[in-house]
Every structure is written in structure tokens, then in C-alpha cells.
Amino acid sequence: MEDVYVYHAVTEKAMELGQIITFDRHHFNGVYHRVMTCKKILDGNKPSDDFSKDINANLDYWKVRTFRELAMERVRTEKYPNYPSRLACLYTTKTLSNAEMWADSFLHSGREVLQIVKLRTNGRIFNGDAFNVFDGTSYEAENEKNAEHYWNNQPNKYGKQPLIETLIDGNIEVVEIVKRFK
């Protein structure tokens, strides 16, 4: 595959120039770990990982996201296996201006932003409309219908221009620290 360059608003752990991040069938992201922890809680288990306290404190918030991401993964695996998994990818943008927009959005919602970085990958890529990301419900068929809508890149229900999130996986290299927030 050809190298592709994208941008990422870094929110959890600062990245370093030259750092390689891998997402594949064996390397998952924070979304995966939160979803799996919430699923364990919903299944009646009592996990004691780093995420359980936060998830238990806001279980309704995490429950709808867990239902959504599990449906997204089921539909992707069955119908779109060549797309990166939302549970094993990095969420990026095609342009610096979009990364700055996401960073501003995170900051206004109270989420800490550490950097904006430029990345190179030769992994799989999916450009999806973030407006098609939905709150999941306990109705599996509804979640899967909404997931199909997302993966098909159908027009969003708001009638807005798509807000593109670029999912990437594979080996990802940090090629530039564009901006530091701290």
C-alpha cells in the first residue's frame, strides 16, 4: 500500500517524533479497552482495570457507546472486513485544519489536548462521517442498521456536510509534532 499522511489531535498520552504505533488484530486502542470493560460490567462481572471506576461512575454514558461499538464491529467484520476496526485504529483527519477543529472541540468539551501530530501509515484507511456515529440502544437490530449507515457513508440525518473522521491502522509513524498544547 502507498504511504498516506494524516493528522491526529492527541488527547491521552503525548507522542514522540519517530514513534511507531501499531494497530491490528492483536493491538487495540483505548476505545476497545473501555468497551470491553463496560461489556464485562454489563455482563455482571466486576472488572478491576484502570477504566472500571470511571465507567461505573457514568455507566449510562458508556453503555450506549458500548452497544454502538459492538454493533459497529459486528457489521464491519461481516460486511466490510477491509476497513480498519474502530477498536484497533487511530482516529485521524486528512487535513491539519480538521485536526485543529477536533482539538478545539475536545478542549471545549473539557477533554485535555496535548498535541497535534502528522502521521504516516501504509495501513488500511476508512473515511467516515462522524455525524453518522450514533448512541447505541439495547435493540441490536437498530444498532446494526445504524452501523450499516455509518460504514456505507450514507448522508447523515442532520443534512450537514460530512464531518470526516479518518480511521487508520497498521504501522503508524509520527513524522511531525505540529503543535503542542502544554
Burial of 182 (0-12, 13-18, 19+ CB in 10 A): exposed
CATH fold of 4-180 reads ADP-ribosylation fold (3.20.170)
Q: Is the whole model's pTM more than 0.75, yes or no?
A: yes
Tell me the per-residue pLDDT of 137-175, one tens digit each, with 9 for 90 and over: 999 999 999 999 999 999 999 999 999 999 999 999 999
Query: Do 119 and 92 contact (CB within 8 A), yes or no?
Result: yes
- Cα(61)–Cα(73) distance, rounded to whole angstroms? 19
State the distance between the two ends of the chain, measured CA to CA, in whole angstroms. Answer: 35
Q: How confident is residue 3, by pLDDT bands cut at 50, 70 and 90?
A: very high
Range in 13-17, 49-53, 168-172 the model is least confident about: 49-53
Domain ranges in the chain are: 4-180
